[in-house]
Structure 1
Amino acid sequence: MEVKSMPSSVQEKSSVDLGNDQFGCAHYKRRCRIRAPCCNEIFYCRHCHNEAKQNCLDVDQVERHEIPRHDVKKVICTLCDTEQNVRQNCSIVGMGKYFCEKCNFFDDDVSKNQYHCDGCGICRTGGKENFFHCDRCGCCYSQILKDSHQCVERAMHHNCPICFEFLFDSTRDISVLPCGHTIHLECLREMEQHFLLSCPLCSKSICDMSSVWEKLDKEVASTPMPVMYRNKMVWILCNDCGTESNVHFHTVAHKCPGCSSYNTRQIRGVSAACVRNLRD
């Protein structure tokens, strides 16, 4: 992708005389609006369009839609109000210091270090040198995860399991869990505040739980079972390592003999009615 830069004289004029913060929307700083090819209406950006046409409850469900970003053909200069083909510079001023002709995307705030990823097919932020594209996952990851990330096919091509926003082109920060599944960072923080420490998709632990398992070891040891249940065995499935094991039944928790995790589920053995009677 070639990111064209405007002449220094235009940059100086746009930043000094015209004021960087006077134009744009809540999502991007830019000196143009786009004509949506889907409904022929004018918006500052695709997010403004989607909030008005897709997420607004006042719009009939049949009429709700998102803008096809790559199909945008016309932009309107905010300064001279001239409608023209998509390009970086109007006759008066540049419409965005960053311009991607593949995505028809403008942004005057280049501190985000925008770059276009051909693998993703969209523009991302953070600097191309800091990310790599995984073809199997179908998304970009931090270089820090290049040799350690858990590969999950099309990892971000789904909705966040908490808020259900589509992750692939979300503008909010995304976290990659140890299991390889993805989730919004703020949604993950909210889960942790409510002590939900397993992946909503595969149930694997989302962090190091060894200190919690040690506490459960002590609780299990200090809670003896009635004589009639001491030799009772049940089958469990470990959510962390995927191993099925036959272990002694206990009302507190069941420990995986393979990885020592208590993140397990009972798959057959003592009936639920027996467990309720013991707890009562």
Structure 2
Amino acid sequence: MGEEALVMQTKDRDFARSEHGCEHYRRRCKIRAPCCDRVFTCRHCHNEFTNSLSNPKDHHEMVRHDVKQVICSVCNTEQEAAQVCWKCGIHMGEYFCGICKFYDDDTEKKQFHCEECGICRVGGRENFFHCPKCGSCYMMSLRDNHVCVENSMKSHCPVCYEYLFDSIEGTTILNCGHTIHMDCFQQMADQNQYRCPICSKTAREMSGVWRMLDAEIAATVMPEEYQYEVSILCNDCNKTGKVPFHIFGLKCSECCSYNTRRISAADLH
């Protein structure tokens, strides 16, 4: 092949790559949903459409592994799922997984298929490990450095309620082991909410904040009429007790956490 022809082929391929896909993925094919026989660019497009239908009975989600047929977006040929179109020879996705029937041109995501998860992940295989108890892949920095919760990723985000296991949004693990979308946790942090929405334990390292509250309380003496004890329950150590009331916070005498809530005397028994 001559240099000019090679350049033209490269331009054609780049043009096709930029022209096709959806808001979720860049790809040069569409998939035929085996569940309803409709054609969509990706499973997310399918799920958004079917779950917006007026009749709730029509709501359903597509199982990625069940996809058999795809349609090349360049030559419009329907065929069995494969990386290369048998008719025009174009790669329908620079990344292709024959198990997930997943196509994506943006290889900078460093996609990889996790056998244990059974689906494709992003971020590079070398940067992740699979935790069998939590049931998902986590970043290497969390190996031997997180609280395991049985199948914690096979649950819904406690803020937006999207299913976490196959969400395309980034997730993070809280100190208690529960998982949440990174963006959802940031929204909580922006509102100064640092308790896990599921178990109410402190979600992140807060010892610096506790020390700041210690200093504020030491420097601020409450008026005599407010110098009394109140009953509390600590969300972190689950202990109850009586502590001095203060406007800046109620400190647990057991674990020194300020993640506490006031309770009635009857709740102590």
Answer yes or no: same fold by TM over 0.5: yes
CA contact (8 A) 1:132 1:146 kept: yes
- Cα distance in 1, alignment partners of residues 149 and 206 from structure 2: 23
Structural mapping, 1:21-36, within 5 Å: 21-36=18-33
Deviations 1:113-160, CA, capped at 9 Å, x for gaps: 100011111000001111000110000000111020111111111111
Cα distance change, pair 98–128 in 1 and its aligned pair in 2 (3 A) = same
Shift of 1:14: 6.6
1:85 — aligned with what?
80
Q: Could you say what secondary structure the match of 1:183 adopts?
A: strand
- Cα distance in 2, alignment partners of residues 225 and 264 from structure 1: 23
Q: Which runs of 5+ in 1 are unaligned?
A: 1-10, 272-280
Q: Which runs of 5+ in 2 are unaligned?
A: 1-5
Shift of 1:225: 5.2
Q: Could you say what secondary structure the match of 2:126 adopts?
A: helix
1:223 — aligned with what?
222
After alignment, is 160-169 or 244-253 more displaced? 244-253
Root-mean-square deviation over aligned CA pairs: 2.3
Cα distance change, pair 73–156 in 1 and its aligned pair in 2 (3 A) = same
- Letter in structure 1 aligned against 2:12: D
- Letter in structure 2 aligned against 1:223: M
1:109 — aligned with what?
106
Shift of 1:185: 0.9
CA contact (8 A) 1:191 1:197 kept: yes
CA contact (8 A) 2:233 2:261 kept: yes
Alignment of 1:257 onto 2:256: no
- Letter in structure 2 aligned against 1:27: H
Deviations 1:163-199, CA, capped at 9 Å, x for gaps: 1111111101111111111111111111111111111
- Letter in structure 1 aligned against 2:179: T
Deviations 1:68-88, CA, capped at 9 Å, x for gaps: 111111001111111111111
- Cα distance in 1, alignment partners of residues 164 and 250 from structure 2: 35
- Letter in structure 1 aligned against 2:157: C
- Letter in structure 2 aligned against 1:264: T
- Cα distance in 1, alignment partners of residues 82 and 185 from structure 2: 39
Alignment of 1:169 onto 2:150: no
Cα distance change, pair 138–225 in 1 and its aligned pair in 2 (3 A) = farther
Structural mapping, 1:37-76, within 5 Å: 37-54=34-51, 56=52, 58-76=53-71
Alignment of 1:193 onto 2:196: no
Q: Could you say what secondary structure the match of 1:52 adopts?
A: helix
Aligned length: 255
Shift of 1:105: 0.9
1:277 — aligned with what?
none
- Cα distance in 2, alignment partners of residues 245 and 12 from structure 1: 74
Pick 1 or 2: higher relative contact order, CA cutoff 8 A, min separation 6. 1
Percent of aligned positions with the same letter in both sequences?
47
- Cα distance in 1, alignment partners of residues 7 and 198 from structure 2: 50
- Cα distance in 1, alignment partners of residues 7 and 150 from structure 2: 46
